[in-house]
Structure 1
Amino acid sequence: MSTQPSEDIDRPETPSAPATSDGFVRGISQAIGGPLGSHAVRSDAKRGRFWTATRIILALTCLTLAFSWVQKSPCQSGDWQQNVQYTRFCYTDVLALYYAEHLNEGAVPYKDWPVEYPVVTGYFMGALGLPVHAYGQSHPEINQGTWFYNANAIVLSALAVATAAIILALRRRRPWDAAIFAVSPIIFFTATVNWDFLAIGLAAIGLYLWVKKHPAWAGLFLGLGGAAKLWPLFILGPLLVLALRSRALRSWTAAMATAVLAWAVANFPVFFWYHESWLRFFRLNSERPIDWGTLWYVGRYFDGKWNSGAAGDQGPFQWLSNNIPSLNLLSYALFGLACVGIGLLAWLAPRRPRVAQLSFLVVAAFLITSKVWSQQYVLWLLPLIVLARPRWGAIIAWTVAEFAYFTAFYAELMGAGGKPVIPEGTFVLASGLRLITVAVLCGLVIREIWKPELDAVRQNYADDPDGGPLNGPDAPWIGRLRRSFGLDRSPAPAPALSEAAS
């Protein structure tokens, strides 16, 4: 039976240097003399030095967010003439929905207008939007939309900085992993496109509390995150399969109970008093057609190519596009099968996989199989891949593909008025590259789960730094399960002899 050490006392206490632990960074470092020597004095070791790795990374996060604010500034006035929001890549739902959801008229979310988002996001919109509207009523010279956007940008940026701080706290021995998050072009382009950092920040706090062995509090923040955007609730699935493997079911039960309670309490006021408004989010997602850039969109494009000469014929993706309930069922089924596969992987792997590895796989599987993949959803994956596989090379390749999709998507939006900007095939190519690179990242994470000696994080930690209550030996049934699949050749432990038999 495989066992796992409960403490990481046999690992080095010095921080990991990217130029020695990451092949891509090591190659780049040759331009400035190569990796740090084994006898060099690390800057972090010098007492009194202000610019530690932590402060550098937090400063880089703030700098990236500041550049992001500047990049969005052409759209802050709300005067979007001649597609300026697309030609300058500065479109943001935050500003557009201030008017579309009637916040500029003082409408209370859900009470006066059925907001299309889960309730915590709606509460957040109202908490910032209604004071801005009230202030604008007494100060008509201000641009309410600009003030609303800037208020949101400040709070969402603070949550992004908090997320970076939590990544640093979870990787004290690998602080430079957080630099992947801090300088990511993904944050630069999408940090304030929507309210996704609200859910990301809540989920990050929940994960941190889980690591600190406060499962009930962790569940509280995961539940609130799930009431802002659905995906933080998905983290409870990996925690369940890992809790079953490590005999930590009591901790998972506490987290699950408080997550459900937090979600229910957050939803109850709108559910009870404004039920039709509460249903809008669920109805919208049930009725939505195939969205741009998804697997189903790419498939429908090729259906059209292959069946263009056959009158009346339609391929399977086109049929699904015309039968949304069937598409919903198929999408849910594929996601469910992917989760089953991830669960089996978690139980059959030679060592208990890390929480971040399984969480990334589950969220990525949801996006790959979903009929909706909005441009800002990429933010969901960024902190998870940093925690799951902090390798610069593959993440840079994925980022390039995401940027290609981002630009192609805006060109597609400009062409929606009837004058194409790029060929449809170019947009489909960009969509396909995004799908492929996310799938490649999934494959690399799966490889490191199956061959844990390749996992960079395990070079500095004997067990999962995100495991919290999970860290410890496997349950006995894991060894039996692996042997039944021919994966564990070690003999089963002999049963203890009773006193009479001895």
Structure 2
Amino acid sequence: MKPPVHIRAASYLPLGLFAALGATLAYLVRLPCRTGGWNDQVTTYTNFCYTDIYPLYFDRQLSTENPYFAQVPFDKQVEYPVVLGEVMQGIAWLVRSAGDVATQGVRFYDITVVLLGICLVIGVLLMAAVAGPTRRWDALWYALAPSVILAAYINWDLVAGALSMGMLLAWARKRQVLAGVLLGLAIATKFYPLMFLGALFLLTLRTARWRPFLVTLVSALAAWLVVNVPFMIFAWDGWRRFYVFSQERGVDWGSPWLFFQNKGWPVLGTADVSLLGTASLAVLLLGIAVLTLGAPRRPRLAQICFLALAAFMMTNKVWSPQFVLWLVPFAVLARPNWKPLALWQVAEVWYFFAIWLYLLAQPPLDRADLGIGDDTYFTAVWGRVITIGIMMGFVVRDILRPDKDVVRQGGVDDQIGGVFDEARDRYTLLPASR
């Protein structure tokens, strides 16, 4: 007999409180900037409290313009997909009567942080529900991981995180239309959830459960079109800003490609980074496809989502500190083993501090006395790459040797697999896998 609904809900209350604690700690991290530090870059970087939220309110003219319909230079338009842009605009409307523009900026930050904190709590609770009753406490990593607290309010990534966790839960409960709608909205918020479609496709190919996948795919496309088409018709230049920016953007902070360029490596440091990044991502995704279809037992959905997302991040032209928010829940769902997760957290924390110290020593600040140089900074860049690579290696091992999978040792097949859970193989690369 199932426990009453109020008992089941009460069992998740402590996780919600821990998530609220994490959201509060994240606010305290940036408190020195909120009280005036944003007006001086040196103060911002030495207090490690940078955020995009406050400066973009002014730089993208949110106090007076809609980010997609604004008659402003192309480089001043909002460089985010439409759901995120309209979230920014909605909050900007709320603060326009707050007094002078500086007061509006601080109020814009405060309300945005409240929204992001709510998204973190929702994301943690959804992750706990996705993980299942026996592993719901794994969601503590998402609530209180040091990297999450440090990076939570740099940008608006937690909105996409809540939508992604909602998509996973809907898929696990076999509500494919809802899963597709949430996935489409997540892709229209941040682009990275597109990787999850590939994971669903590969497991569908192995199990031949085509109808649920196609329903989810069509629902995702419909949701994406509903929120995008009006802007494509009435604000084409503003809408396409994100896609043009993503294509034309050069190599940026955090990316391993920056190391190769800085050191002048042949080919890796001199060739077109867009081409190199796309090619390397394609190679990694091909490897993930072969692994998915050739493994002795069908991999879990969380494992494939994690591998695809990690591959996307490691080959990208930019790897901002807040991107850690994308990966934490999927890394934990894929392999909830504390040792490699803790090692990765150390690397992420080091990178968080290293990037601001490095920027202090770069033009236009040129404060080498306060910052760090190239070689020290790149230890942080490669620390993230190596520790995520280690976690990917363990996940691959778990897929090839399912008896090593901590989740499956608990007697489950795939707690978030939905129609894939306990499904028979219909197509594999190796006959022995069937």
TM over 0.5: yes
User: Which whole-Å deviations, capped at 9, do the CAs of 1:466-501 have from their partners, x for residues lacking one?
Assistant: 0011123323433xx313xxx55xxx9xxxxxxxxx
Change in Cα spacing, 1:318 to 1:336, as seen in structure 2 (3 Å) is closer
Establish whether residue 408 from structure 1 lines up as the match of residue 368 from structure 2. Answer: no
Superposed counterparts of 1:333-482, under 5 Å:
333-416=279-362, 417-420=365-368, 421-478=371-428, 481-482=429-430
Determine if contact 2:263/2:269 at 8 Å carries over to the other structure. Answer: no
Determine if contact 1:246/1:471 at 8 Å carries over to the other structure. Answer: no
More divergent stretch after superposition (419-428 vs 122-131): 419-428
Identity percentage of aligned residues: 34
User: Which whole-Å deviations, capped at 9, do the CAs of 1:428-448 have from their partners, x for residues lacking one?
Assistant: 111111111111111111111
1:166 to 107, 122, 126: 126
More divergent stretch after superposition (243-252 vs 411-420): 411-420
Shift of 1:50: 12
Q: TM-score, normalised by structure 1?
A: 0.80
2:48 maps to 89
1:33 maps to none
Establish whether residue 123 from structure 1 lines up as the match of residue 73 from structure 2. Answer: no
1:146 maps to 106
Distance 1:166 1:372 in 2: 28
Change in Cα spacing, 1:319 to 1:128, as seen in structure 2 (3 Å) is same
User: Which whole-Å deviations, capped at 9, do the CAs of 1:327-367 have from their partners, x for residues lacking one?
Assistant: 21221121122111111111111111111110010010001
Shift of 1:418: 2.3
1:219 to 180, 192, 207: 180
1:16 maps to none
Change in Cα spacing, 1:140 to 1:280, as seen in structure 2 (3 Å) is closer
User: Which whole-Å deviations, capped at 9, do the CAs of 1:169-208 have from their partners, x for residues lacking one?
Assistant: 1221112211222220112111111000111111111111
Distance 2:161 2:188 in 1: 12
Change in Cα spacing, 1:62 to 1:339, as seen in structure 2 (3 Å) is same
1:25 maps to none
Change in Cα spacing, 1:360 to 1:107, as seen in structure 2 (3 Å) is same
Determine if contact 2:148/2:324 at 8 Å carries over to the other structure. Answer: no
Change in Cα spacing, 1:447 to 1:141, as seen in structure 2 (3 Å) is closer
1:182 maps to 143
Distance 1:51 1:67 in 2: 25
User: Which whole-Å deviations, capped at 9, do the CAs of 1:124-173 have from their partners, x for residues lacking one?
Assistant: 0001112212x22xx44981111111111111111111111011112211
Determine if contact 2:26/2:149 at 8 Å carries over to the other structure. Answer: yes
User: Which whole-Å deviations, capped at 9, do the CAs of 1:88-109 have from their partners, x for residues lacking one?
Assistant: 11111011111111113x2111
Distance 1:108 1:260 in 2: 25
1:21 maps to none
The one-letter code of the counterpart of 1:357 is Q
Change in Cα spacing, 1:150 to 1:447, as seen in structure 2 (3 Å) is same
Distance 2:334 2:41 in 1: 42
Determine if contact 2:172/2:418 at 8 Å carries over to the other structure. Answer: yes
Distance 2:380 2:21 in 1: 28
The one-letter code of the counterpart of 1:419 is R
Distance 2:93 2:61 in 1: 10
Shift of 1:80: 2.3
Shift of 1:118: 0.8
Distance 2:172 2:223 in 1: 19
Establish whether residue 98 from structure 1 lines up as the match of residue 49 from structure 2. Answer: no
- Structure 1 counterpart SS, 2:270: helix
Change in Cα spacing, 1:84 to 1:419, as seen in structure 2 (3 Å) is closer
2:68 maps to 110
Change in Cα spacing, 1:142 to 1:92, as seen in structure 2 (3 Å) is closer
Q: What residue ranges of structure 1 are gaps of 5+ in the alignment? A: 1-12, 14-44, 305-314, 321-325, 493-502
1:9 maps to none
1:323 maps to none
1:66 maps to 24
1:231 to 184, 192, 198: 192
Shift of 1:303: 2.4
Distance 2:430 2:67 in 1: 52
Distance 1:301 1:213 in 2: 48
Distance 1:50 1:209 in 2: 18
Shift of 1:294: 1.0
Distance 2:268 2:296 in 1: 39
Q: Which has the higher contact order (CA 8 A, sep 6+)?
A: 1
Moved over 4 A (4+): 48-53
> Which protein has the larger Cα radius of gyration, Structure 1 or Structure 2?
1
Determine if contact 1:108/1:130 at 8 Å carries over to the other structure. Answer: no
User: Which whole-Å deviations, capped at 9, do the CAs of 1:377-417 have from their partners, x for residues lacking one?
Assistant: 11100010111111111111000001111111001111122
Distance 2:80 2:347 in 1: 28
Determine if contact 2:195/2:309 at 8 Å carries over to the other structure. Answer: yes
Distance 1:428 1:398 in 2: 16
Change in Cα spacing, 1:82 to 1:465, as seen in structure 2 (3 Å) is closer
The one-letter code of the counterpart of 2:309 is V
Q: What residue ranges of structure 2 are gaps of 5+ in the alignment? A: none
- Structure 1 counterpart SS, 2:31: helix
Q: TM-score, normalised by structure 2?
A: 0.92
Change in Cα spacing, 1:226 to 1:82, as seen in structure 2 (3 Å) is closer
Q: What is the aligned-residue RMSD (CA, Å)?
A: 2.1
The one-letter code of the counterpart of 2:106 is T
Establish whether residue 318 from structure 1 lines up as the match of residue 289 from structure 2. Answer: no
Determine if contact 1:180/1:390 at 8 Å carries over to the other structure. Answer: no
Shift of 1:54: 2.7
